[in-house]
Amino acid sequence: MKQVVAATAITATLILLLSAIAAASPEKTDKFGCHKCTRNCERYDLLKNEYHCHGTANVQSQNIQIAPRIYGNSTYRRVASIIDGDTLTVYYGIGGKKAKVRLLGIDTPEASPKEKAECFSTQATQQLNKLAFNMFVLLKKDKLQRDDKDKYGRLLRYVILFDNTSVNEEMIKGGYAKAYPSLTTTVEQYKKLENEAKEKKLGMWGECGKAKKNDTSQRLFPLKGERYGSHNIN
Ligand SMILES: [Zn+2]
For residue 199, the one-letter residue type is: E
- Whole-number pLDDT of residue 1: 53
Ligand 1: distance of its center to the CA of 134 in Å? 22
Average pLDDT of the residues in 95-107: 96
d(CA 159, CA 138): 6
d(CA 105, CA 103): 7
Least confident range from 4-13, 45-54, 97-106: namely: 4-13
Average pLDDT of the residues in 212-234: 51
Ligand 1: distance of its center to the CA of 92 in Å? 15
Q: How far is CA 148 from CA 139, 144, 155, 176, 178, in A?
A: 12, 11, 6, 24, 21
Question: Cβ contacts of residue 20 below 8 Å, gap of 6+?
Answer: none
- 150 pLDDT exceeds 90? yes
Question: 41-89, pLDDT tens digit by residue?
Answer: 999 999 999 999 998 766 778 888 899 999 988 999 999 999 999 999 9
**Angle in degrees, CA 98, 102, 108, rounded to 5:** 130
Strand 98-103 to 87-91 pairing? antiparallel
> In angstroms, what is the C-alpha Rg of the chain?
26
Which residues hold their Cβ within 5 A of ligand 1, which is an ion?
25
Ligand 1: distance of its center to the CA of 40 in Å? 9
- 106 pLDDT exceeds 90? yes
- Whole-number pLDDT of residue 205: 97
Ligand 1: distance of its center to the CA of 99 in Å? 20
- Average pLDDT taken over every residue of the chain: 85
Which residues are part of the catalytic machinery? 102, 110, 154
Ligand 1: distance of its center to the CA of 10 in Å? 30
Reported as a pLDDT band with limits 50, 70 and 90, residue 7 is low
Reported as a pLDDT band with limits 50, 70 and 90, residue 221 is low
Ligand 1: distance of its center to the CA of 37 in Å? 6
Average pLDDT of the residues in 208-231: 55
Ligand 1: distance of its center to the CA of 25 in Å? 6
Ramachandran angles phi, psi of 71, nearest 5°: -120, 125
Q: Please give the full DSSP string across the chain, using - where no structure is assigned.
A: -HHHHHHHHHHHHHHHHHHHHHHS-SSPP-TTSEEE--SSTGGGT--TT-EEEES----S-HHHHTS-EEETTEEEEEEEEEEETTEEEEE-SSSS-EEEEEETTEE-----SGGGPPTTHHHHHHHHHHHHTT-EEEEE--TT---SB-TTS-EEEEEE-TTS-BHHHHHHHTTS-EEP--SSTTHHHHHHHHHHHHHTT-THHHHSSSPPTT-GGG-SSPPTT-EETTEEP-
Reported as a pLDDT band with limits 50, 70 and 90, residue 99 is very high
pTM: 0.78
- 145 pLDDT exceeds 70? yes
Question: 112-122, pLDDT tens digit by residue?
Answer: 888 899 999 99
Pick 73 or 161 by higher pLDDT: 161
